[in-house]
Amino acid sequence: GAEAALPGGACRARRLYVSFRDVGWHRWVIAPRGFLANYCQGRCALPAPGAPPALNHAVLRALVPGAGPPCCVPARLSPISVLFFDNSDNVVLRHYEDMVVDECGCR
Amino acid sequence: ARAPAPPGPAAALLRALGLHDAPRGAPTPRPVPPVMWRLFRRRDPQEARAGPRRASPGAAVRPCHVEELGVAGNIVRHVPARGARARPAEPAAATGAPCPEWTVVFDLAAVDDAERASLARLELRFAAAVAAAAGPGAGGWELSVALAGDAGAGPGPVLLRRAVRGLELPVRAELPPAACARNASVPRGLRLALALRPGSPAAPAACAALAEASLLLVTVDPRLCHPLARPRR
């Protein structure tokens, strides 16, 4: 389930929830039932107060006509842990890095 | 038995998560061991943020390290023993104890070749009534764990020997992690021969009965430990 990306908004993290039931994994994933993955979407213009952090290169690119706007991408991510049954009915805990977007930036 | 991964985004997500394909059907219902819940809650970022161990939002959990167990790892498995089989002790055993020995098998088929084991902790539970009757005696017990060959073959090298005082509580013993790879074959399984002998020459009042055996296996999958996951200096 994802928050609709409306055109014209500034670059920021949008809500994206991954439900293990929706992908049919709920029979073998014990916990969590899903996780808030989020995603980045929005316009990257010249940095303004309150705007997401931008790389220097992104600022240069925003200044140059014809180079196209910088990209709105994840700037900080966090991990999740998943507890599940495997094919042998063992209980497995796996840790995955970079699964949740905490912050977006212009790059 | 594995179900072929359905094509499309779900298969791509499975591969990204280091899983070849989704388990087929519903798993056999069994309670999740408390240690696994505990590890999950400690590692889950949402739980960790709410807990007192989280100093600040930026103080992330060390990647590829199971802090609670003090070892490197990003995969923890709780593997119950299958086919625990008792066999009579060798009559020529040094103590002469007539108690049985056991062969237990752990299914490690799901462990990928790329994973490196960092911890293999054996947990044994003995039948409560028998454990109480058996009593520790003056010298307690001595647990020995050896790699077991295939049916008919004799026991392999001894992995550990350790003293056990009582049998009322679960007995935990750490095996050399390499044992989990050394005994691997197709289908991959770890076969162990367990023996519990009295620690003193006096025979025990009763033999212990093995009720349950499980293996807590921690491995590192280096493919999931990419450099970006390391904290910045």
| Mean per-residue pLDDT, B145-153 | 76
Q: Please confirm whether the linkage preceding A74 is cis (ω < 30° from 0).
A: no
What proportion of chain B, given as a percentage, has pLDDT over 70?
Answer: 65
Chain A residues 42-81 with CB within 8 Å of chain B: 78-81
Residue B215, pLDDT score: 96
| Closest of A17, A95, A86, A97 to residue B43, by C-alpha | A95
Closest CA of chain A from B193, distance in Å: 21
Q: Kindly report the average pLDDT of chain B as a whole number.
A: 76
- Whole-number Å distance between alpha carbons of A43 and A106: 9
Reported as a pLDDT band with limits 50, 70 and 90, residue A83 is: very high
Q: A39 touching B, CB under 8 A? A: no
Q: Closest partner residue to B75 among A80, A88, A92, by Cβ?
A: A92
- Whole-number Å distance between alpha carbons of B60 and B47: 12
| Closest of B76, B5, B7, B192 to residue A90, by C-alpha | B76
Best residue in A81, A99, A100 to probe B by mutation, most B CBs within 10 Å?
A81
- Whole-number Å distance between alpha carbons of B36 and A94: 11
Residue A47: CA atoms inside 13 Å, Cβ hemisphere, count? 15
- Whole-number Å distance between alpha carbons of B201 and B208: 16
Quick: pLDDT tens for B103-114.
Answer: 999 998 888 888
Cβ-based contacts of B79 with chain A (< 8 Å): 88, 90
Decide if pLDDT at A89 tops 60: yes
Decide if pLDDT at A95 tops 50: yes
Supply B156's token pair: 């392999």
Residue B56, pLDDT score: 46
Quick: pLDDT tens for B53-68.
Answer: 444 444 556 778 898 8
Cβ-based contacts of A88 with chain B (< 8 Å): 79, 107, 109-110
Residue B15, pLDDT score: 79
Query: Could you tell me which residues are beta bridge partners of residue A78?
Result: A100
- Whole-number Å distance between alpha carbons of B47 and A78: 13
Query: Do the beta carbons of residue A39 and residue A101 sit within 8 Å?
Result: yes
B interface with A, Cβ–Cβ < 8 A, is: 1-2, 10, 13, 17-18, 22-28, 30, 32-33, 36-37, 39-40, 43-45, 60-61, 63-64, 74-80, 107, 109-110, 224-226, 228-229
Per residue, what are the HEC states of chain A? Answer: CECCCCCCCECEEECEEEECCCCCCCCCEEECCEEECCEEECECCCCCCCCCCECHHHHHHHHCCCCCCCCEEEEEEEEEEEEEECCCCCEEEEEEEEEEEEEEEEC
Supply B47's token pair: 């739980």
| Closest of B122, B37, B43 to residue B79, by C-alpha | B122
- Whole-number Å distance between alpha carbons of B20 and B110: 10
What secondary structure letter does DSSP report for B11? H
Closest CA of chain A from B209, distance in Å: 24
Return the top range by mean pLDDT from A20-29, A57-66, B165-174, B214-223: B214-223
Residue B228, pLDDT score: 45
Cβ contact B79–A98 (<8 Å): no
